């Protein structure tokens, strides 16, 4: 019985208790009825929560300091459900099989390259035989004689070929510059691999500066104004579909989520199509004052041209009516009568 209790205690969360970490503790239904949490003392009977964080389990007043952790627990569950592509800074993305889309053979090659880089970093900068002094050359020969047995062992293992003697001694026959830019230590970046498009359901609350506040299952996200579409009209009561552009935590541990109305990578095409629609729309609510004035002048010119054409047609009709009268007057002249 004692061994079983000791094993249970060593594997319990209480054995790894740290006041500096907000670790979440829970209890089961039967133990909750008796207000037992597996601690030295029971919590007050007024406590109705099953999830809590312990601040101090041993105080001078002989009571346990705790806080309700339902909100933190719900926030983390919501985060994992809506933003599965997120990861903590410094995490090993190659071990995250659920999010990484890198093939297995690519991961093996990446690990092999990392091992080679670590070996090169441990060996240091190759020594140049061309720039060695007489004393340095003597020390180099002494080191080579001392490592003769190690060289034979490496040849038998197949780690080196007979032509790679200088590489084994970390030397090179050419001159090597000692510039920092050439021999810079390797830099690592915790990059996120390609991921699938993540969609979430949310409700637009209000406008805050240069973005909109969007509620996504208790998490307040931001929608930049650049993503706002002229054809979209947000209703605070409607639930809209948004695309997750980034999801992370800031330095204070607060969630920082940026949403978009279109999948990532399609924003430029949407902006260009929207611009073409505006260009095709000549006169309307979005037209500028200059375009309205130009269109008004064009209409006046067309009306003036139409008036000129109508006036010319009336003049021709009058001339055609006056021509027979003139011919009749000419025939009735005295010259015609004398003839």
Q: How far apart are CA 54 and CA 23, in angstroms?
A: 7
Summarised one tens digit per residue, pLDDT across range 272-281 is: 444 444 444 4
CB 203, CB 215: distance < 8 Å: yes
For residue 130, the model assigns a pLDDT of 78
The pLDDT mean for the chain works out to 68
- The answer for 124, left when phi > 0, alpha when psi is -120 to 50, beta otherwise, is left
CA distances from 112 to 47, 105, 106, 151, 164 (A): 54, 11, 10, 23, 20
Q: Would you list the domain boundaries of the chain?
A: 2-68, 104-172, 199-270, 287-319
Superfamily of domain 199-270 in CATH is Nucleic acid-binding proteins (2.40.50.140)
Please check whether residue 243 is in contact with residue 198, taking contact to mean a CB–CB distance below 8 angstroms.
yes
Three-class SS state of 240 = strand
Q: What is the pLDDT of residues 124-172, one digit of tens each?
A: 677 888 788 888 888 888 998 999 999 989 888 888 888 888 888 888 8
Give the chain's radius of gyration (CA, Å).
43
Q: Are 336 and 330 in contact (CB under 8 A)?
A: yes
Reduce the DSSP state of residue 54 to 3 states and report it.
strand
Average pLDDT over residues 277-292: 48
- Using the predicted structure, report yes or no on whether residue 244 has a pLDDT greater than 70: yes
């Amino acid at each position: 019985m004692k061994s079983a209790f000791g094993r249970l205690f060593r594997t319990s969360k209480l054995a790894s208790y740290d006041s500096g970490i907000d670790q979440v503790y829970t209890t089961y239904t039967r133990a909750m009825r008796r207000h037992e949490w597996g601690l030295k003392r029971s919590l007050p009977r007024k406590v109705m929560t099953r999830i809590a964080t312990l601040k101090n389990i041993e105080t001078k007043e002989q009571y346990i300091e705790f806080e309700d952790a339902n909100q933190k627990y719900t926030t983390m569950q919501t985060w994992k459900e809506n933003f599965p592509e997120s990861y903590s800074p410094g995490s090993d993305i190659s071990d995250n099989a659920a999010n990484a889309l890198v093939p297995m053979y690519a991961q093996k090659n990446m690990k092999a390259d990392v091992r080679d880089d670590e070996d090169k970093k441990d060996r240091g900068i190759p020594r140049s035989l061309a720039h060695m002094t007489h004393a340095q050359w003597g020390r180099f020969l002494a080191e080579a004689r001392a490592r003769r047995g190690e060289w034979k062992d490496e040849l038998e293992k197949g780690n080196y070929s007979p032509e790679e003697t200088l590489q084994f001694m970390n030397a090179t026959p050419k001159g090597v510059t000692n510039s920092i830019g050439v021999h810079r230590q390797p830099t690592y970046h915790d990059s996120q691999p390609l991921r699938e498009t993540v969609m979430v359901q949310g409700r637009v609350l209000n406008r805050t500066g240069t973005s909109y506040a969007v509620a996504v299952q208790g998490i307040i996200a931001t929608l930049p104004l650049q993503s706002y579409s002229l054809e979209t009209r947000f209703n605070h009561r409607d639930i809209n579909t948004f695309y997750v552009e980034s999801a992370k935590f800031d330095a204070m541990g607060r969630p920082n989520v940026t949403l978009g109305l279109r999948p990532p990578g399609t924003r430029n095409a949407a902006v260009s199509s929207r611009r073409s629609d505006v260009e095709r729309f000549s006169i309307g609510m979005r037209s500028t004052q200059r375009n309205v004035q130009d269109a008004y002048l064009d209409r006046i010119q067309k009306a003036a041209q139409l008036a000129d054409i109508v006036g010319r047609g009336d003049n021709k009709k009058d001339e055609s009516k006056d021509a027979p009268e003139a011919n009749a007057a000419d025939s009735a002249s005295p010259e015609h009568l004398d003839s």
